[in-house]
Amino acid sequence: MTEAPNPSERYRKGMATRRAVLGNAHVDRAVANETPFDKPFQELITETAWGNVWSRETWSKRDRSIVTIALLAALGQDEEVAMHVRATANTGASREDVCEALLHVAIYAGVPAANHAFKIVKAAYAEIDAAGVSAGEEAQ
């Protein structure tokens, strides 16, 4: 996501929030993999998801992280669930928070969705633990 010559304030804010949540390494990989085909989409999510929603001060990044994981789990978005689990090192959401979110998924979105999400989350935590990554570095 090479920045436009004059990126909007929302884009700049979104990129800063995106880096704070997902880590520089993740965002740098996304930038490196951007093509002219997906550049409009990358700009859209940077401005709206990250620059507007994630940058709001009404909820903490921890709160947004928990809700995001629950929603992604309910929707069966495995890669996104794993990515946001890794990002909890930067948002402050604990493993207990994630477990509680998945319990809500079981009740409100269905046991199969939660069961699958627990599998994805356990695998993400196993990778984190095996890498010996410390807090604040997981998402990177």
Q: Residue 3 — very low, low, confident or very high, per pLDDT cuts 50/70/90?
A: low
The pLDDT of residue 136? 44
Query: Which tens digit of pLDDT belongs to each residue from 77-126?
Result: 999 999 999 999 999 999 999 999 999 999 999 999 999 999 999 999 99
Structure tokens at 76: 């069966």
The pLDDT of residue 6? 79
Judge whether residue 140 has pLDDT over 50.
no
pTM (whole model) above 0.85: yes
Residues 6+ apart with CB under 8 A from 121: 69, 73, 81, 82, 85, 98, 102
Query: Which tens digit of pLDDT belongs to each residue from 28-64?
Result: 999 999 999 999 999 999 999 999 999 999 999 999 9
DSSP 35-95: -TTTHHHHHHHIIIIIIIITT-SSS-HHHHHHHHHHHHHHHT-HHHHHHHHHHHHHH---H
The mean pLDDT value for 24-29 works out to 95
**Could you tell me the domains of the chain?**
9-53 (no CATH), 61-131 (1.20.1290.10)
The pLDDT of residue 132? 84
Maximum CA extent, the chain: 48
